[in-house]
Structure 1
Amino acid sequence: MEKPDKGLTWRFVTLAIGMFAIGTDSFVVAGILPSVAKDLDVDVPTSAELITAYALSYAILSPVVAAVAARVPRRLLLIGGLLVFIAGNIGTGLASGFEVALGFRVMAALGGAMFTPTAAGVVVALAGPERRGTALSILFGGLSAATALGSPIGTAISGFTDWRGTMIFVAAVGLVAAIAVSVALPSVPSPPAVTLKQRLSPVTDLRIALTLLLVLVGYSGLFVLYTYVSQIFAPATDGNGRTLAWLLFAWGIAAVVGNMTAGRLTDKYGNRVVINTAGVIAVAVFATTPWSSRHLATAFVAAMLWGACGWAMLVPIQHRLAGVNPAVAQMSISLSSSANYVGVSLAPVVGSFLLDHDVEMRYLGVPSAAIVVAGLLIGEAGHLLIRRKQRQAEAEADGGDTPAEGRAIAAR
């Protein structure tokens, strides 16, 4: 039994490398926005549209690609997605103007949309029910590791070369992932074809819809600051790109720790406690950034709490989605990824709107905190609805059968 387990684990790690590349691409642009803006002759809020273009395209294309390419062999779709992703990042790095760079960001997002949902489905298929949680944690561990290593490394590279070097670095990581997948991953049977309408059907359940809205609103608030992280923490870093890279490294390490511990905490205390505790701490951190961003020591503390709490919320949210209706759990979790990216794509828009309406850069954390609070309130409404439905189901069940017990897990 040991050898097959090790083989499966290696395959999960192989896919996690791809997630690492895509995650690096998602987060690294925020750290190099001033350099991008200067080189492409636009202001920083305009250059932030590169983040919006990538995240929004990914969110829209993920369910569409999953439906259209349902019959494409999984291995081919994974490798093809990474190749498109690589081309999009090379194109961004060589772009002669802002509009060209924007187009290549959409191409990179298409590659990510081809890879990520497919990788999640492959992991679920290979792992089986008994190892599904572990397999998914390995896969999405690649995404959180991107915040700890990929993003700060990419930011540091821009300090030695320029932002174009950073994009080539991201493409190189994608190439490593493509080679690893082509070598290590066997052929995987394609799942039954699911239409786009079926993939979106979980949204008709108000409990799932409210949980997805929590993701969208909450992560929009969480990433408003990340979009302008180089400027908000400029007083603490003195505008030094290498110091910022260390700050992002601390943020990312804390994100990995938050992601790793969230599962155990959710199993012990329930998803509601973990979501709300992490969210409230993040709100407090954001509300105090006008002061914590002035000094390097307090900036590191704020960044680490922010990273840990932001990533600790993802696991319990997915836990809640899986428990609401296990029959559509995979589609619900896929939609949560899209909701996350919609929130991330809105963050630069929201930030730009606030800055245009006389909110000073250093006070941007205050309205961001208010947005996170709104997300938590939406999540609480979803939790109360889940509890009510669960009580109704228990009342109708014969002596607390297994389905009712399963629904009770989602209500915790």
Structure 2
Amino acid sequence: MTTLQSARPARTGVGPVDPGGVSGSSLGLITTALVVGGFAIGTTEFVTMGLLPQIAHGLGLTIPTAGHTISAYAVGVVVGAPLVAFFGSRLPRRGLALGLMGIFVAGNVASAVATSYESLVLARFLAGLPHGAFFGASALIVAACAPDHLKGRAISRVMLGIPIANMVGVPTATWLGQELGWRSAYWLVAGLAVLTIALVAWWVPATPGNSRASGRTELAALRNPQLWLTLAVASVGFGGMFAMYSYIAPTVTEVTGLGQRAVPWFLLAYGVGGIVGSLLGGRLADWSVLRGLVLSLVGVGSALALFAVTSQWAVSALATLFLVSVLATA
């Protein structure tokens, strides 16, 4: 871990980093810059789900085929994180965050101008590559800048981009995509990413990487069977939820029988449920991590089975989707 003494400020308004961490106002600016990036990432991750019918129509695809673009982004996330861990462990954290956002901009611009199924799949894969690594770099940056007694809080705050995106960014980008065309949603995300680059360059101090780290060391965790067991549980346990949510737009329009303008409201319900679930998850973890996980998994499975029935009616579908989100994030 980088020492606080080695972190020097950017040539901007950020003050010096002393052994006690940066000032409260500077830490707030640093966190804000990184949260904006997380907000952009969270928005692009889920907005495709809300615009799947429009994307399919625009490229002349079936909805299931258009759904492969969601899978391409997910594959990018899975591939990108270990690649960056292997090659980027020694890189300066601010420079790494800026580079990742640059790739993210390229992926979303490519998504906005894609003219074929193949080009959109490739663009979504590219956009997914920086996903996990950006959050990792963000956590390391705020940990290096925050005083010891605020490190945990600072790291938790920098992760707020995803839930805020689910509650605000995804419904807004979906509405924009419906009104101006699905490409506009990706242009919006690209703009947010450019803003993130500017804020990180201006507000985030230069934070050196770990000179003693090596790619082989970073990937050593992959030898731990417990890691693979955890990944298997998460994949099986929450795969059903993502499969359902990926096709929420056609479900709302074709099963529930509502118009496309209703889709953002369902996405908003999912986002609010995620906030509630995060708060509930903290309480469950304090009670018992294992029991909380079991309750969450059983609850998600039950709620998904219920959604198969309730999705035919608007109010019950909305309520059940909210419940799925609460239980999935708890």
Q: Distance in 2 between matches of 1:104 and 1:222?
A: 24
Q: Distance in 2 between matches of 1:291 and 1:148?
A: 25
Q: Give the share of equivalent positions with the same residue, in percent.
A: 28
Question: How far 1:126 sits from its partner (Å)?
Answer: 2.7
Instruction: Please state if 1:277 is matched with 2:315.
Output: no
1:181 aligned to 200, 209, 214, which one?
Answer: 200
Q: In 2, are the aligned partners of 1:63 and 1:196 still within 8 Å (CA)?
A: no
1:211 aligned to 209, 221, 230, which one?
Answer: 230
Q: Distance in 2 between matches of 1:118 and 1:289?
A: 37
2:279 aligned to 260, 268, 271, which one?
Answer: 260
Aligned to 1:65: 84
Q: In 1, are the aligned partners of 2:94 and 2:204 still within 8 Å (CA)?
A: yes
Question: How far 1:132 sits from its partner (Å)?
Answer: 3.3
Q: Distance in 2 between matches of 1:108 and 1:158?
A: 18
CA deviation digits over 1:329-379, x for unaligned, max 9?
A: xxxxxxxxxxxxxxxxxxxxxxxxxxxxxxxxxxxxxxxxxxxxxxxxxxx
Q: In 1, are the aligned partners of 2:67 and 2:246 still within 8 Å (CA)?
A: yes
Instruction: Please state if 1:150 is matched with 2:197.
Output: no
Aligned to 2:306: 288
Matches within 5 A, 1:125-204: 125-127=144-146, 130-204=149-223
Q: What is the one-letter code of the residue matched to 1:108? A: A
1:30 aligned to 39, 42, 49, which one?
Answer: 49
Q: What is the one-letter code of the residue matched to 2:194? A: L
Aligned to 1:82: 101
Q: In 1, are the aligned partners of 2:86 and 2:219 still within 8 Å (CA)?
A: no
**Higher alpha-carbon deviation: 207-216 or 35-44:** 207-216
Instruction: Please state if 1:20 is matched with 2:39.
Output: yes
CA deviation digits over 1:205-228, x for unaligned, max 9?
A: 333332222222223222010111
Q: In 2, are the aligned partners of 1:155 and 1:242 still within 8 Å (CA)?
A: no
Q: Distance in 1 between matches of 2:106 and 2:134?
A: 14
Aligned to 1:228: 247
After TM superposition, the score normalised by the length of structure 2 is 0.87
Q: What is the one-letter code of the residue matched to 2:91? A: V
Q: What is the one-letter code of the residue matched to 2:304? A: F
Question: How far 1:298 sits from its partner (Å)?
Answer: 0.6
CA deviation digits over 1:281-328, x for unaligned, max 9?
A: 21111011122111111111111111111122xxxxxxxxxxxxxxxx
> CA 1:241/1:178 → structure 2, altered by over 3 Å: closer, same or farther?
farther
Matches within 5 A, 1:358-369: none
Question: How far 1:8 sits from its partner (Å)?
Answer: 1.9
Q: Which runs of 5+ in 2 are unaligned?
A: 1-19
CA deviation digits over 1:10-52, x for unaligned, max 9?
A: 3223211111111111111011111111111111111111111
1:107 aligned to 118, 122, 126, which one?
Answer: 126
Q: Distance in 2 between matches of 1:97 and 1:235?
A: 25
Aligned to 1:399: none
Aligned to 2:28: 9
Question: How far 1:235 sits from its partner (Å)?
Answer: 5.0
Q: Distance in 2 between matches of 1:67 and 1:270?
A: 34
Aligned to 1:242: 261
Question: How far 1:9 sits from its partner (Å)?
Answer: 3.4
- The alignment partner of 2:198 has SS state of helix
After TM superposition, the score normalised by the length of structure 1 is 0.71
> CA 1:244/1:165 → structure 2, altered by over 3 Å: closer, same or farther?
same
Q: What is the one-letter code of the residue matched to 2:202? A: V
Question: How far 1:119 sits from its partner (Å)?
Answer: 1.5
Q: Distance in 2 between matches of 1:38 and 1:204?
A: 44
Q: In 1, are the aligned partners of 2:40 and 2:193 still within 8 Å (CA)?
A: yes
Q: In 1, are the aligned partners of 2:86 and 2:215 still within 8 Å (CA)?
A: yes
> CA 1:60/1:35 → structure 2, altered by over 3 Å: closer, same or farther?
same
Q: What is the one-letter code of the residue matched to 1:84? A: I
> CA 1:303/1:204 → structure 2, altered by over 3 Å: closer, same or farther?
same
**In the comparison of the two structures, how many residue pairs are matched?**
311
Q: What is the one-letter code of the residue matched to 1:97? A: S
Question: How far 1:110 sits from its partner (Å)?
Answer: 2.8
Q: Distance in 1 between matches of 2:162 and 2:106?
A: 20
CA deviation digits over 1:183-236, x for unaligned, max 9?
A: 211111212453333223223333333222222222322201011111223356
Q: What is the one-letter code of the residue matched to 1:257? A: V
TM superposition outliers: structure 1 runs of 4+ over 4 Å: none
- The alignment partner of 2:61 has SS state of coil
Which structure has the highest helix share of the two? Answer: 1
Q: Distance in 2 between matches of 1:184 and 1:282?
A: 40
**Higher alpha-carbon deviation: 178-187 or 254-263:** 254-263
CA deviation digits over 1:232-279, x for unaligned, max 9?
A: 233565342221101110110110221234224312x02123212222
Q: In 1, are the aligned partners of 2:81 and 2:130 still within 8 Å (CA)?
A: no
Question: Aligned-pair RMSD on alpha carbons?
Answer: 2.1
Q: Distance in 2 between matches of 1:128 and 1:261?
A: 27
Instruction: Please state if 1:95 is matched with 2:132.
Output: no
